[in-house]
Amino acid sequence: MQKQPTIRDVAQAAGVSVAVVSRVLNPGSGPVAAATRTRVNEVMQSLGYHPRTAARELKFGPPTTLGLLLADVSNPFFARLADRVVQEAHARGIQVLLMTTQEDDHLEAERLATLIERRVSGIIATPTGNNQEIWKKLQALGTDVVFVDRSIPTLPEVDVVSIDNFESGRSATALLAAHGHRRIGIISGPATSTTGRDRIAGYREALEAAGLEQDELLIRSAAFRGAAGGDAASALLNLEDPPTALVVANTAQVTEVLKRLSHAGIAIPGAMSVIVFEDSPWTELMTPPLTIVRQPIDLLARHSVQLALANTSGRAPGNATVIRVSAELVERSSVARLQLAK
Amino acid sequence: MQKQPTIRDVAQAAGVSVAVVSRVLNPGSGPVAAATRTRVNEVMQSLGYHPRTAARELKFGPPTTLGLLLADVSNPFFARLADRVVQEAHARGIQVLLMTTQEDDHLEAERLATLIERRVSGIIATPTGNNQEIWKKLQALGTDVVFVDRSIPTLPEVDVVSIDNFESGRSATALLAAHGHRRIGIISGPATSTTGRDRIAGYREALEAAGLEQDELLIRSAAFRGAAGGDAASALLNLEDPPTALVVANTAQVTEVLKRLSHAGIAIPGAMSVIVFEDSPWTELMTPPLTIVRQPIDLLARHSVQLALANTSGRAPGNATVIRVSAELVERSSVARLQLAK
DNA sequence: TTGTAAGCGTTATCAT
DNA sequence: ATGATAACGCTTACAA
């Protein structure tokens, strides 16, 4: 346990002033003789000197840290997003403070408070939907806020990066309709989430285009986490006229749904066609391999980091950047033509 | 974009000195009249004041940030570990700086450098195995370093939290031997990783206990990431006397291995029994449900955070804390009795 | 090319 | 109970 050397120690040991040391630390900041530079560098080396970030940040606001506020990192989708965001950020010399909300807006508020205190330059978040005043304040403070995956409709001034949920919901549903299904169920996130809302809108559009009747009973909003997805599945199965096809619009819910189907002895795709929003490697290893909507996580991450670092602080209100990347419908074997024979 | 109010602004607006404001900010630090306190609080509220962490950190070394340096967050095991670590840390008011190495020791060195500059109080890491001097230096600097999941044998002075890899490898292998298998293959991490090393040691022990011959050809070390696991599987299958059972000792490799088996038309568990170190929900949904070694991620996370925050800086060398939690062998259906009939 | 000194926002030690 | 004021480690005019 040794005491950390400061810039002053280095200066003294090298026989120069702190200003000189600072200049060799930040190259562009001023002239320094080549000989002095190497000498100072040597001293830093031998002393094991490392400039202290906290002290640096004190001078100018630090565009050196990004907040990443996710619902839940144990969800593979968010985990991979985090992985990519971290890599993108590091490539630009930016560090990432990771926080989770567990979909709890109270926790979210707490996290945002510490993010404010840290004066992070940008925040990439999957917002719970509440805490709107805080988000506004953050922006007013000059923080670059980017919503990823979902957004808050009543906060149009915030940048958003997500897939085209409407189109994804539409095309998934259309695929099922094209296979002859007339009773198509959809399990989606909470009604407050734009993700769920847009996917359901796309779903409705597809039904209409296919001339199918819309039945509100077939539309289930379930919490993102926990067993809610499974409960929704059970409810659908217990309908007097149950669906023959399912769009499961959330990663965390898929496993629950599949468990229920399996327990109920409902075969995929024989008795039930399934499409899921998910892209884990294991979807391909299932029996049968699952037809999925693949989200381009790399793109989501790249755009998010880019926006969060854009320093668009002083822009006119109303012109938020909205980036919608298209998701890919990957057809495998969990969707089959409807068996007309009962 | 408004300028952030400082403690001085608050003091002025409240008609008091900065010292008083500081005292209401840090309750135990000194007396302040109840009336003044509420007035100051009101002013802070209306001004939207938030104390700046960077300035605080400048004074005393900040036990307020933890570095979490993982190989890869897209790996579900690490992702869930990250999730738990973040929650544990937040519960104690600590923030987490997330970094990844991609198993690249050069990247690791860079990340460690920034962690040093940030003066984090502790680091939880899955080390690549190199950069030993840097780890030592970190400790000398008083940083609480904790290796999780794996460790570096030549760095015995670092705290470690992991499952009992030896026992896990042993019991998994013993289970296969008990099912009559005599040719048991193991695919593990790189030989440099303690994780792989210990699991293989346990594997050997089990073979010996069962009176089975050890064949080095059945032991495959493969890189943690990429398709290496699949290649190892192929190599094993091409042996003149191929194994009838497999222990796959790494999360990321499992999917690759299963793909190869599937492509080769080798049925599980009919033609090949399989045990994997993995605990994603999907292992249960596979056909057949996979027999797994389940790692108690919660415990790993909790102990790691605890150690990383223990501030054991000044302890005598040599008495590093090593915590081994036991993993659970969950028997499902991917292990079957060896079919003697060829 | 190098050195001096004044901040950055906060806490802590004195006095008052 | 409150108020000046000196740190903390670094950057940056401005001087030399």
Strand partners, A245: A184, A273
Cβ < 7 Å from nucleic strand C: A 15-20, 23, 30-33, 35-36, 55, 58-59; B 4, 6-8, 18-19, 22, 25-26, 29-30, 49-52, 55-56, 58-60
Residue A82 has pLDDT above 90, yes or no: yes
pLDDT score recorded for residue B250: 77
Nearest to A117 among B51, B119, B140 (CB): B51
Is there contact between A8 and strand D, defined as CB under 7 Å from any strand atom?
A: yes
A286 neighbors B287 (Cβ within 8 angstroms): yes
Is there contact between A53 and strand D, defined as CB under 7 Å from any strand atom?
A: no
Contact state of B53 with A100 under an 8 Å Cβ cutoff: no
A208 within a domain of the structure (yes/no): yes
> Residue B34: which nucleotide is closest by CA–C1'?
D1
The answer to whether residues A266 and A307 belong to one domain is: no
Which of A1, A110, A260 to probe by mutation at the B interface, max B CB count within 10 Å?
A1
pLDDT in tens, A289-338: 999 999 999 999 999 999 999 876 555 556 799 999 999 999 999 999 99
pLDDT score recorded for residue A266: 95
Which of B65, B98, B104, B139 to probe by mutation at the A interface, max A CB count within 10 Å?
B98
CATH of the domain at B138: 3.40.50.2300
- In this prediction, residue A142 has a pLDDT band, given cuts at 50, 70 and 90, of confident
pLDDT score recorded for residue B318: 62
Q: Which domain holds residue B42?
A: 7-59
Contact state of B1 with A62 under an 8 Å Cβ cutoff: no
pLDDT score recorded for residue B138: 92
pLDDT score recorded for residue A224: 78
A331 within a domain of the structure (yes/no): no
pLDDT score recorded for residue B316: 53
The answer to whether residues B170 and B291 belong to one domain is: yes
- In this prediction, residue A30 has a pLDDT band, given cuts at 50, 70 and 90, of confident
| Shortest CA distance from B141: residue in chain A | A1
The answer to whether residues B190 and B269 belong to one domain is: yes
Contact state of A119 with B57 under an 8 Å Cβ cutoff: no
SS3 A68: strand
A332 within a domain of the structure (yes/no): no
pLDDT score recorded for residue B60: 77
Contact state of B80 with A73 under an 8 Å Cβ cutoff: yes
The answer to whether residues A285 and A170 belong to one domain is: yes
Report chain C positions within 7 A of protein CB atoms: 1-5, 7-14
CA distance A44 to chain B (A): 13
pLDDT score recorded for residue B252: 74
The answer to whether residues A188 and A290 belong to one domain is: yes
Contact state of B83 with A76 under an 8 Å Cβ cutoff: no
| Shortest CA distance from B312: residue in chain A | A1
| Shortest CA distance from A67: residue in chain B | B97
pLDDT score recorded for residue A254: 86
> Residue B17: which nucleotide is closest by CA–C1'?
D3
pLDDT score recorded for residue A1: 54
pLDDT score recorded for residue A134: 96
pLDDT score recorded for residue B313: 54
| Alpha-carbon distances, residue A185 vs A1, A45, A200, A241, A335 (angstroms) | 62, 65, 10, 11, 13
CA distance A49 to chain B (A): 9
The answer to whether residues B93 and B69 belong to one domain is: yes
pLDDT score recorded for residue A93: 92
Question: B61 CA, D2 C1': separation in Å?
Answer: 28
The answer to whether residues A290 and A173 belong to one domain is: yes
Question: A155 CA, D16 C1': separation in Å?
Answer: 56
Residues of B in contact with A287 (CB under 8 A): 286-287
Contact state of B51 with A99 under an 8 Å Cβ cutoff: no
pLDDT score recorded for residue B341: 46
Half-sphere exposure of B291 (CA within 13 A, CB side): 23
| Residue A222 CA, distance from chain mean position | 19
B101 within a domain of the structure (yes/no): yes
A338 within a domain of the structure (yes/no): no
Nearest to A96 among B72, B97, B313 (CB): B97
A278 within a domain of the structure (yes/no): yes
The answer to whether residues B242 and B287 belong to one domain is: yes
| Shortest CA distance from B315: residue in chain A | A1
CATH of the domain at B49: 1.10.260.40
Counting the structural domains of chain A, the total is 3
A244 within a domain of the structure (yes/no): yes
> Residue A56: which nucleotide is closest by CA–C1'?
D10
Is there contact between B59 and strand D, defined as CB under 7 Å from any strand atom?
A: yes
B67 within a domain of the structure (yes/no): yes
The answer to whether residues B107 and B195 belong to one domain is: no
The answer to whether residues B81 and B148 belong to one domain is: yes
- In this prediction, residue A341 has a pLDDT band, given cuts at 50, 70 and 90, of very low
pLDDT score recorded for residue A29: 86
The answer to whether residues B170 and B96 belong to one domain is: no
pLDDT score recorded for residue B123: 97
Contact state of B2 with A79 under an 8 Å Cβ cutoff: no
The answer to whether residues B74 and B87 belong to one domain is: yes
Q: Average pLDDT per run of 10 along chain B, which is 342 residues long?
A: 84 94 91 94 93 88 87 94 98 96 96 94 95 93 93 93 96 98 93 87 98 96 85 95 93 86 94 93 90 97 95 64 96 90 44
Residue A44 has pLDDT above 50, yes or no: yes
